[in-house]
């Protein structure tokens, strides 16, 4: 298909397997059961920092379904994602931007679809991560 349809050189299975076996060898020392690693660190009294991404309104359980991500980006969801019990969470630090944004479809009643919104988008570099498209919109804090 690559050569007939796309005029590209075909892929040789043996070459691909050999290349990726090399990657596997390099990555193997860094692969671990992270639940075990985190549990051991917590039992040893080490400080563990969990970072969440996105926001509550994109949470698969608490967000604006179906316009959500496939995970639980809330502070409570950190336990789910890390595989640790909630009693291990002793401190939560929330970080927010001075304005809200949304990339893609979904409800956003405070959207600024005007020159002020465009200025904030430009100044903040608010563009889609995957496509770099101008998909992000800015909302007021009203």
Residue 2 lies in a domain: no
What residues make up the domain containing 135?
A: 97-142
Q: Are residues 55 and 86 in the same domain?
A: yes
Q: Tell me the average pLDDT of the chain.
A: 84
Burial of 33 (0-12, 13-18, 19+ CB in 10 A): exposed
Q: Closest by alpha carbon to 103, among 92, 111, 95? A: 111
One domain for residues 84 and 57: yes
Query: In terms of domains, do 106 and 126 share one?
Result: yes
In this structure, is residue 41 part of a structural domain?
A: no
pLDDT for the residue 135: 53
In a domain, 109, yes or no: yes
**Predicted TM-score (pTM) of this structure:** 0.60
State pLDDT tens for residues 36-76. 999 999 999 999 998 877 778 888 888 888 988 888 888 88
Domain count for the chain: 2
């Amino acid at each position: 298909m690559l050569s007939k349809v796309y005029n590209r050189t075909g892929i040789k299975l043996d070459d691909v397997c050999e290349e990726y076996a090399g990657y596997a060898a390099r990555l193997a020392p860094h692969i671990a059961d992270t639940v075990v690693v985190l549990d051991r660190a917590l039992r040893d009294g080490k400080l563990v920092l969990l970072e969440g991404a996105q926001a509550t309104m994109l949470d698969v359980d608490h967000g604006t379904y179906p316009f959500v991500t496939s995970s639980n980006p809330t502070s409570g969801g950190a336990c789910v994602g890390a595989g640790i019990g909630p009693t291990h969470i002793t401190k939560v630090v929330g970080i927010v931007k001075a304005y809200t944004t949304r990339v893609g479809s979904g409800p956003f009643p405070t959207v600024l679809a005007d020159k002020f919104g465009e200025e904030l988008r430009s100044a903040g570099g608010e563009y889609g991560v995957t496509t770099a498209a101008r998909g992000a919109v800015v909302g007021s804090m009203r």
